[in-house]
Structure 1
Amino acid sequence: MSGPVVVLLPGVGCRAVEFSAQAAALRAAGRRVVPLDLPGHGDEPPVGGTATLEAVAAQVARRVHELGAVDLVGHSTGGVVGLLLAARRPALLRRLVLVDSNVPVDAGALAAKRARAAAVRADGWHEVLVASMRAAWGERRPELREEVLARIAATPGAAVRPLWTDVLELDPRPLLHAAAVPLLHVRSTRDVDEAGLRALNPRAAAADLRRLGAGHWPHLVEPAAVTALLEDFLGARVRG
């Protein structure tokens, strides 16, 4: 195996199996790949207390620490968790990829994101979650959509609700500015301005996949496009 470990971290309610295509390609390139679910998701143990963003990031940090400095690829909330590590514990990471993570850098997009948190604190939040994720999927690959939504709907609320609320309320700009490792934001649906991102952090790069119409899960709907981006950014085209 060559290069650092690649950790694949999915979004809230999701599972690392959704990165299967990318995991296979990275392994074929000689990389060790560790798929990791968020705490309280699948077989991953929950945090010892409320699953806030800080608590989730701390538990992920403990898992990553066991692996040495890693390349972390996070989808959606998984990317936000990775961003906390990049800003506060950069020795754990070598590179960070945020796959359509909700990390707006302009005031209007940030206000729209924060406004959604009220629905997550209210009764009926679970229906809001499933409806939001369904709308974010897009028009393609409906059979995959139903698999993903079933996993999201089945994830315990204690592992989802506080974490999702924190992500919606978070102002990511200080973390993006402080991130001390090279990072790539892969935009598929999220309103993240590339110029604003680069202005916050010269280490940041961006890739825009909106033309593919792949929705919020481009790694599932357009796996080859996301795999190619990872191979280039992580330097994964190395055999041996």
Structure 2
Amino acid sequence: MGDWADLPGVRTWYETEGTGDPLVLLHGGFCTNDTWGPLRADLAAAYRVLLPERRAHGHTPDVPGPLSYTDMADDTVAFLESVVGGPAHLVGWSDGGVVALLVAAARPDLVRRAVVIGANSRPGPECFAEPSMLDTMTPDGAELAFFREMYAAVSPDGAGHWPVVAAKMLDMWRTEPAMTDGDLARVTAPVLVMTGDDDLMTLEHTVSLYRAMPQGQLAVIPGASHLVPLERPDLVSRLILEHLAQEKVETMMPVRRAAGADGAPAF
């Protein structure tokens, strides 16, 4: 079921499915809610799933000016407050994962638990496995053909607006996000950081992101790429559901999660 939310930043299209505790799915850059297809049934069987399409994505129109993760995070905060009506679990893929991290850092009161898949905390030139891809991608190039067709099929701005949106996205990837370890340390919610072992982001960057969060957990999916939710949907769904249902981490020989000197858990 789809509807519109009149948020302060942009009139936003969203879909809902299932019942139960709220779970907000945040799609990747250039994408629409359709890319969540392989996971939706499993997640909606356990949660009330809400799927907003961010500004300049899918059915949601573009707005004047550059695109920024901060603005999209502000939109998501407004969505949580006005549509969800309170805290929710967040699952973000790629750009959606970046947005989820920003929301969790800025508004911990609105995030119960989170999963970020193929996310990054630094600009593309600092964390992409192949930073040169930013120089070869063009709005009309073959590399973006799949996304161009997806955009043209549903955007209220029309296919002719695609070059504008594509240029904005590429500019954003070159300079954003710019989260520090201190920013990530403010993410107090339990966060599962998931990545393919051949992701767009270097494994080193992903590990540093996981380590910077007090309640971070890490899952590296073997034989998988940045499209791991499409490649291994059954495994990804299971890991998401297990993480969201987990009350606390209990292991037999903790090191990073060992109790502090005062006997209290490290987080």
Q: What's the TM-score bracket when you normalise by the shorter of the two chains?
A: 0.7 to 0.9
Tell me the distance in 2 between the aligned counterparts of 1:127 and 1:173: 34
Bigger helix share: 1
- SS of alignment partner, residue 139 of structure 2: helix
**In the alignment, is the contact (CA less than 8 A) between 2:94 and 2:117 conserved in 1?**
yes
Matched, 1:165 2:160: no
- TM-score normalized by the length of structure 1: 0.74
Match of 2:252 in 1: none
Match of 1:102 in 2: 120
Bigger strand share: 2
Tell me the distance in 1 between the aligned counterparts of 2:170 and 2:245: 32
Aligned pairs for 1:17-36 (under 5 A) are 17-29=34-46, 31-36=47-52
Tell me the distance in 2 between the aligned counterparts of 1:216 and 1:164: 17
Match of 2:214 in 1: 202
**In the alignment, is the contact (CA less than 8 A) between 1:77 and 1:167 conserved in 2?**
no
Decide whether aligned partners of structure 1 residues 234 and 164 sit closer, same or farther in structure 2, where only a CA change above 3 A counts. Answer: farther
Match of 1:139 in 2: none
Tell me the distance in 2 between the aligned counterparts of 1:149 and 1:160: 9
User: Which residue of the other structure, out of 202, 211, 228, is the alignment partner of 2:238?
Assistant: 228
Aligned partner letter, 2:31: C
Decide whether aligned partners of structure 1 residues 112 and 202 sit closer, same or farther in structure 2, where only a CA change above 3 A counts. Answer: closer
Match of 1:138 in 2: none
Match of 1:57 in 2: 73
Tell me the distance in 2 between the aligned counterparts of 1:212 and 1:84: 29
- SS of alignment partner, residue 95 of structure 1: strand
Percent identity over the alignment is 24
Question: Following TM superposition, by how much is the alpha carbon of 1:173 offset from its aligned partner in structure 2, in angstroms?
Answer: 3.2
**In the alignment, is the contact (CA less than 8 A) between 1:53 and 1:163 conserved in 2?**
no
- SS of alignment partner, residue 36 of structure 2: helix
Tell me the distance in 1 between the aligned counterparts of 2:140 and 2:34: 24
Tell me the distance in 1 between the aligned counterparts of 2:132 and 2:241: 35
Aligned pairs for 1:124-135 (under 5 A) are 125-127=138-140, 131=143
- SS of alignment partner, residue 60 of structure 1: helix
Q: Which runs of 5+ in 2 are unaligned?
A: 1-18, 153-158, 247-267
User: Which residue of the other structure, out of 122, 141, 156, is the alignment partner of 2:162?
Assistant: 156
Question: Following TM superposition, by how much is the alpha carbon of 1:110 offset from its aligned partner in structure 2, in angstroms?
Answer: 6.2
**In the alignment, is the contact (CA less than 8 A) between 1:113 and 1:168 conserved in 2?**
no
Question: Following TM superposition, by how much is the alpha carbon of 1:93 offset from its aligned partner in structure 2, in angstroms?
Answer: 1.2
Size of the alignment, in residue pairs?
A: 213
Tell me the distance in 2 between the aligned counterparts of 1:64 and 1:163: 24
**In the alignment, is the contact (CA less than 8 A) between 1:46 and 1:159 conserved in 2?**
yes
Tell me the distance in 2 between the aligned counterparts of 1:112 and 1:28: 35
- TM-score normalized by the length of structure 2: 0.68
Larger Rg: 2
- Give the alignment's Cα RMSD to 1 decimal: 3.2
Which structure has more RCO (C-alpha within 8 Å, separation ≥ 6)? 1
Q: Which stretches of structure 1, 4 residues or longer, exceed 6 Å deviation after superposition?
A: none
Aligned partner letter, 1:24: A
1:113-143 superposed Cα distances (whole Å, 9 cap, x missing partner) = 49949946x9x73256x52x6xxxxxxxxxx
